[in-house]
Chains A and B, each alone.
Chain A
Amino acid sequence: MRRVAVIGAGMTIFRRRLLETGKEMCFQATKMALEEAGIGMEAVDAVVSGSAPDAFDGVHMKGEYLSDGCGGIGRPYMRVFTGGGTGVFSPIAGWWHVASGLADVCLVVNEEKMSSCFPHPQSAFAHIWDPVLDRPLKPNLVWIFALEMNRYMTVHDIKKEEIAEVAVKNKRNAVDHPCAQLADPNITVEDVLNSEVMAWPVQLLDISPPSDGASALVLASEDVARQYSETPVWISGVGWCIDSTMWTNRDLYFPEYLARASKMAYKMAKIDDPRREVDVVEPYDPFDYKELHHLEGLLLADKGQAPKLTVEGVTQRDGDLPVCPSGGLLGVGNPIAATMGIKAGEIYWQLAGKADARQVPGDPQIGVCQAWGDLMQYSSVVVMKA
Chain B
Amino acid sequence: MGSGITDVAIVGCGHVGFTPESHQYSWKELMFEAAVKAYENAGVDPRKDIDCFVTCAEDYLEGFSIFDEFTPDQLGAALRPAFTVTGDGIHGLASAFMLIRTGQLDVVAVEAHSKAADILTYEGVVSFAFDPIYNRPLKGHPYHLAGLEMNAFLQDAENTEIDCAEVVRKNKGNALKNESASFGEELSVEDVMGSKPLFKPLKAADVSPLADGSIVLVLASAERAKKLTEQPVWIRGIGWASDTPWIETRDLREARYARLAARQAYEMAGIERPRLQIQVAELDDRFSYKELQHVEALALSGGYRAGSLLREGYYDASGSLPVNPSGGSLGVGSLLEASGLYRVMEVVRQIRGEAGDHQVGDVDLGVAQSWRGVPSTSGAVAVMGG
Contact = CB atoms under 8 A, between A and B. Distances in A.
Interface of A: 1-2, 21, 52-55, 57-68, 72-83, 89, 93, 95-97, 99-102, 124-125, 127-128, 130-131, 238-246, 256-257, 260-261, 264, 268, 373-375, 377-378
Interface string B61-92: 10111101111110001111111111100010
B93 to A, nearest CB: 11
Given A65-B129, A81-B85, A128 B66 contact: yes
Given A80-B85, A127-B65, A244-B72, A60 B58 contact: yes
B260 interface: yes
Contacts of B260: 74
Interface of B: 1-2, 5, 58-61, 63-66, 68-73, 77-87, 91, 94-95, 97-99, 101-104, 125-126, 128-129, 131-133, 239-246, 256, 260-261, 264, 372, 375-378
20 contacts: A53-B59, A55-B65, A58-B132, A59-B132, A60-B126, A61-B376, A64-B242, A65-B131, A74-B242, A74-B260, A78-B85, A96-B102, A101-B101, A241-B80, A242-B77, A242-B82, A245-B71, A256-B79, A377-B69, A377-B72
Nearest to B256: A74
A53 B245 contact: no
Given A67-B244, A102-B98, A246-B73, 9 more contacts: A54-B58, A55-B65, A61-B372, A68-B244, A73-B245, A74-B260, A81-B85, A240-B82, A242-B77
B58 A82 contact: no
B64 A67 contact: no
The 7 lowest CB-CB distance pairs between A and B, nearest first, are A100-B101, A100-B98, A53-B65, A60-B128, A99-B102, A60-B60, A60-B129
Given A74-B241, A77-B240, A100 B264 contact: no
Contacts of A241: 79-82
Given A64-B129, A81-B86, A128 B64 contact: yes
Contacts of B94: 76, 78
Contact of B102 (A1, A63, A65): A1
A268 B104 CA distance: 8
Contacts of B264: 76
B86 A79 contact: yes
Nearest to B74: A245
Nearest to A4: B102
Q: Which of A2, A124, A242, A244 has the most C-beta atoms of chain B within 10 angstroms of its own C-beta?
A: A242
A373 B66 contact: yes
Contacts of A378: 68-69
Contacts of B68: 81-83, 242, 373-374, 378
A93 B96 CA distance: 11
Nearest to A261: B81
A60 B103 CA distance: 34
Nearest to A237: B104
A100 B5 contact: yes
